[in-house]
Amino acid sequence: PVDRLPEIQEARLRLPILAEEQVIMEAVRENECVVLCGETGSGKTTQVPQFLYEAGYASSVGIIGVTEPRRVAAISMSQRVAKEMNLSTGVVSYQIRFEGNVTKDTKIKFMTDGVLLKEIQRDFLLQKYSVIIIDEAHERSVYTDILIGLLSRIAPLRNRRGLPMKLIIMSATLRVEDFTENQRLFRTPPPVIKVETRQFPVTVHFNKRTPMEDYTGETFHKICKIHRMLPAGGILVFLTGQAEVHSVCRRLRKAFPYRPNREHTGETQISKTSRRATKKNVCLPKISLDNYSALPVDEGDEDCQAGIDEDDGEGSDLELELGDHPDNDAEEKSDPSIPLYVLPLYSLLAPEQQAKVFRPPPAGARLCVVATNVAETSLTIPGIKYVVDCGRVKKRFYDRVTGVSSFKVTWISQASANQRAGRAGRTEAGHCYRLYSSAVFGDFSLFSEAEITRRPVDDLVLQMKDLNIEKVVNFPFPTPPSGETLISAEQLLISLGALEEPPRRGRLNEMERARLSCPITPLGRAMAAFPVSPRYAKMLALGRQQGCMPYIITIVSAMTVREIFEEYDRPAGSEEESSRLAGKKARSFQMRRLWAGQGQSLLLGDLMVLLGAVGACEFAGCSQQFCEGNGLRYKAILEIRRLRGQLTNTVNSVCADAGVFVDQKMAPPTDGQVVYLRQIVLAGLGDHLARRVQNEDLLDPKWRNGYKTPLLDEPVFIHPSSALHKTLPEFVVYQEIVETTKMYMRGVCGVQ
């Protein structure tokens, strides 16, 4: 029996999912696994755990577990459900990687998918749960995919042991065939329940031009125009990252200051804006969300250049109305008469700050939430009428050569764009302003690909082996990575010593050998603890020799962060500027020569330069000034610093007596240590070995100063900016090969 407050009960009853409670609970009773689809905001995350609780699934035998791909959702949804149920957070709790509020009384536990994966490592049958809900399955995060594969096996095992467990997969889209039609995953396809949602029409406005550079500036100006010209209603803005979110928030607060203690006369403010908008009899075209595929074309007036009037709103008068306003580059004048209540929203924001977006804005001010992708499906913000979509998302990419992950801003998929637009039509008809043309939208991919197909899987295979899943090729992935990808991952892990060498018997070809399930080694278990890809984890695992650990941590951190040196080769505007750039470039090269060290250190090559640069920078207090004066990218240096701290902590936790710490005054390595460092680097990058073509073997002049690698027929070269460009050691290892005018190795280190 749940004792809810009357206003909560009232709000719940308006959610479309309440009408489906019986259907859902019956399906759950009769099936091991159920798939539930419903638009964002229909009530899946907040209500389904409550249905289960009231049906008695959280009992003495087990609790209800809910996984989220994002920490922000795990925290805020647990708080919301606790509040709706009038229960304490000791009963409805959350657990994320480093924190949580779970107690022995917890009945509903929200957690990130990574946390549940780690729990499976400790108890494969997950005996403390009577039901597991996999939320946001449409996001197709690697961990979610792996969890679904594991749970498809765990649930039947539990049922056979008379300890039944239910699995519920929830998705905001109808695209669930990868789960339901996959025979290896579920022999009998699980039933799919669709929750019908009331969706008001959302008018989509495309830009004529697509800003390639300053899309945050464009975003800012679009928000200003909406706020000045359009009737009351919240604005939700999609940008790609925390820095962008803050910069736009700052500019908006300056343009439309909101002062909490001043009495804003709400009525007049709102009616002032709406009057302006209605005066010219704005009629807004309706495009139902279902018609997204029938794209409107960009056929507005070519001469309209600025702002919202670039949108092809099918001849709406709105364009004329908004056309009188300043150009994009004009600064917005501060206007306190129409206050805007601006709130940032992103994953790392403190929960109490995040919670603000769910409360109604102060009287007289318009709500404007500037968010990253978290607002796309994880969180539903009430009262949104306008969506501004920059069309981009920051995603993790894996460099196929180095295996190192990085974050890049790319275009979203059409499915994501439609999810974003849908946020505007929850409470009444709304508008979505897309800062890209319909032609660009047409070039977006239809759906975002499952993360697992976009990256090498050596780290994943290592994690799975750490879970004692030996035959990774037989694992029921919702979308399997290619066999080649799996084999090369396994081969790499064997060569790094993380997996046991398969026995060489007779005429087994490589494919069959890889299918032989190679178990994990103790070294592999240690490597699995580090948050870097296995090559680098191997270097860390070997770092204890001769006090090399602090150096290896620094080198790995620096190799994992891209572009630590500033580029000065950009076109200069004036002669003066070009000589200034030339001066900086000369200084940067001079510093790199200095950091490359002397004697033995020289052979460490580019890695010694990284080590010297980070060491010198830390010694100087890591100031922006030092970076700018010496050709280092300040942001990269800060990132390296964070990673050094994190890796240092991990080393200490994996190995209690390591006793390493981040030393700001780290002395350069001794000659003896340099020898060890080269061996450690070789152990991690052993398959990235290149041998210089000897002059006497030169058959073709194109091979002059070239290196031969096992996999390429063409010569590769040491880049002129490398510390080893003149030395040309006979054997080198490299971090990656980049093709520009030639194939150049980067991150080169001599070995011998």
Smaller CB distance to Mg ion: residue 115 or 308?
Answer: 115
Which of ligand ADP, Mg ion, none lies near 380, with the C-beta cut-off 5 to 8 A by kind?
ligand ADP
Among 38, 41, 45, 595, binds Mg ion (CB under 5 A): 45
Nearest distance from residue 169's CB to Mg ion, in Å? 13
**Contact set with ligand ADP (CB under 6 A):** 15, 38, 40-47, 76, 80, 358, 380, 382
Of 478, 415, 538, which Cα lies nearest the Cα of 177? Answer: 478
Which of Mg ion, ligand ADP, none lies near 494, with the C-beta cut-off 5 to 8 A by kind?
none
Smaller CB distance to ligand ADP: residue 46 or 648?
Answer: 46
Which of Mg ion, ligand ADP, none lies near 210, with the C-beta cut-off 5 to 8 A by kind?
none
Which of ligand ADP, Mg ion, none lies near 49, with the C-beta cut-off 5 to 8 A by kind?
none
Q: Which two tokens stand for residue 610?
A: 């990284």
Bridge partners of 689?
733
Of 395, 427, 523, which Cα lies nearest the Cα of 197? Answer: 427
Nearest distance from residue 131's CB to ligand ADP, in Å? 17
Which of Mg ion, ligand ADP, none lies near 729, with the C-beta cut-off 5 to 8 A by kind?
none
Q: Which two tokens stand for residue 746?
A: 């980067």
Full 3-state SS string of 194-230: EECCCCCCEEEEECCCCCCCCHHHHHHHHHHHHHHHC
Smaller CB distance to ligand ADP: residue 321 or 376?
Answer: 376
Bridge partners of 154?
none
Smaller CB distance to ligand ADP: residue 76 or 588?
Answer: 76
Nearest distance from residue 80's CB to ligand ADP, in Å? 4
Give just the sign of the alpha carbon dihedral 270, 276, 280, 285. negative
Q: Does an H or E element contain 340, and which?
A: strand 340-345
CA distance 116 to 111: 7
CA distance 377 to 173: 10
Of 430, 321, 712, 686, which Cα lies nearest the Cα of 534? Answer: 686
DSSP SS3 for 647 = helix
Which of ligand ADP, Mg ion, none lies near 456, with the C-beta cut-off 5 to 8 A by kind?
none
Which of ligand ADP, Mg ion, none lies near 227, with the C-beta cut-off 5 to 8 A by kind?
none
Smaller CB distance to ligand ADP: residue 358 or 731?
Answer: 358
Smaller CB distance to Mg ion: residue 45 or 199?
Answer: 45
Q: 217 with 320: CB under 8 angstroms?
A: no
State the CB neighbour count (10 A cutoff) for residue 446.
9
Nearest distance from residue 86's CB to ligand ADP, in Å? 14
Nearest distance from residue 74's CB to Mg ion, in Å? 11
- CA distance to 163, 359, 423, 531, per residue, from 382 (Å): 40, 8, 9, 37
Nearest distance from residue 68's CB to Mg ion, in Å? 8
Nearest distance from residue 172's CB to Mg ion, in Å? 7
Q: Which two tokens stand for residue 344?
A: 């940032």
Please give the single-letter amino acid code of residue 482.
Answer: S
Of 112, 104, 80, 107, which Cα lies nearest the Cα of 91? Answer: 107
Smaller CB distance to ligand ADP: residue 72 or 493?
Answer: 72
Smaller CB distance to Mg ion: residue 45 or 273?
Answer: 45
CA distance 133 to 167: 6
Which of ligand ADP, Mg ion, none lies near 434, with the C-beta cut-off 5 to 8 A by kind?
none
Nearest distance from residue 143's CB to ligand ADP, in Å? 19
Which residues lie below 8 Å from residue 604, measured CB to CB, with a gap of 6+? 597, 611, 674, 677, 678, 681, 749, 750
Smaller CB distance to Mg ion: residue 377 or 735?
Answer: 377
Which of ligand ADP, Mg ion, none lies near 80, with the C-beta cut-off 5 to 8 A by kind?
ligand ADP
Smaller CB distance to ligand ADP: residue 19 or 297?
Answer: 19
Which of Mg ion, ligand ADP, none lies near 173, with the C-beta cut-off 5 to 8 A by kind?
none
Which of ligand ADP, Mg ion, none lies near 438, with the C-beta cut-off 5 to 8 A by kind?
none
- CA distance to 329, 601, 624, 627, 664, per residue, from 621 (Å): 37, 24, 9, 10, 8
Smaller CB distance to ligand ADP: residue 10 or 671?
Answer: 10
Q: Between β-strands 192-195 and 405-411, what pairing exists: parallel, antiparallel or unpaired?
A: unpaired
Span from 41-49, 225-233, 471-479, 701-709 in contact with Mg ion (CB under 5 A): 41-49
Bridge partners of 236?
369, 387
Which of Mg ion, ligand ADP, none lies near 382, with the C-beta cut-off 5 to 8 A by kind?
ligand ADP
Which of Mg ion, ligand ADP, none lies near 588, with the C-beta cut-off 5 to 8 A by kind?
none
Which residues lie below 8 Å from residue 332, measured CB to CB, with a gap of 6+? 220, 221, 224, 251, 254, 255, 326
Which residues lie below 8 Å from residue 111, measured CB to CB, with a gap of 6+? 65, 66, 67, 68, 74, 94, 95, 96, 100
Binding pattern for the stretch 410-449 against Mg ion, x by CB under 5 A and - elsewhere: ----------------------------------------
Span from 36-44, 120-128, 386-394, 474-482 in contact with Mg ion (CB under 5 A): 36-44
Smaller CB distance to ligand ADP: residue 41 or 364?
Answer: 41
Which of ligand ADP, Mg ion, none lies near 15, with the C-beta cut-off 5 to 8 A by kind?
ligand ADP
Smaller CB distance to ligand ADP: residue 81 or 417?
Answer: 81
CA distance 502 to 499: 9
Smaller CB distance to ligand ADP: residue 80 or 719?
Answer: 80
Span from 44-52, 177-185, 225-233, 603-611 in contact with Mg ion (CB under 5 A): 44-52
Nearest distance from residue 385's CB to ligand ADP, in Å? 14
Backbone angles phi, psi at 514, to 5 degrees: -70, -30
Span from 40-48, 411-419, 527-535, 743-751 in contact with Mg ion (CB under 5 A): 40-48
Smaller CB distance to ligand ADP: residue 41 or 403?
Answer: 41
Nearest distance from residue 306's CB to Mg ion, in Å? 38
The site for Mg ion, by CB under 5 A, has a size of 2
Which of ligand ADP, Mg ion, none lies near 307, with the C-beta cut-off 5 to 8 A by kind?
none
CA distance 240 to 638: 20
Q: H-type helices in 44-141, by residue range? A: 44-54, 71-85, 113-122
Give just the sign of the alpha carbon dihedral 485, 487, 489, 492. negative
Looking up tokens 């190995």, which residue turns up?
Answer: 655
Task: Give percent helix, percent strand, percent coil of the chain, each to the nearest 5.
Answer: 45, 15, 40
Nearest distance from residue 195's CB to ligand ADP, in Å? 8
Residue with the shortest CB distance to Mg ion: 45
Which of Mg ion, ligand ADP, none lies near 437, with the C-beta cut-off 5 to 8 A by kind?
none
- CA distance to 381, 412, 442, per residue, from 436 (Å): 24, 11, 10
Please give the single-letter amino acid code of residue 598.
Answer: Q
Smaller CB distance to Mg ion: residue 171 or 735?
Answer: 171
Question: Could you give the angle at the alpha carbon of 726 between the alpha carbons of 723 and 728, nearest 5°?
Answer: 90
Q: Between β-strands 384-389 and 736-739, what pairing exists: parallel, antiparallel or unpaired?
A: unpaired
Which of ligand ADP, Mg ion, none lies near 149, with the C-beta cut-off 5 to 8 A by kind?
none
Binding pattern for the stretch 547-576 against Mg ion, x by CB under 5 A and - elsewhere: ------------------------------
Smaller CB distance to ligand ADP: residue 323 or 382?
Answer: 382
Does 78 participate in binding Mg ion (rule CB under 5 A)?
no
CA distance 133 to 81: 14
Q: H-type helices in 350-437, by residue range? A: 351-355, 374-377, 414-422
Nearest distance from residue 366's CB to Mg ion, in Å? 26
Given the rule CB under 5 A, which residues bind Mg ion?
Answer: 44-45
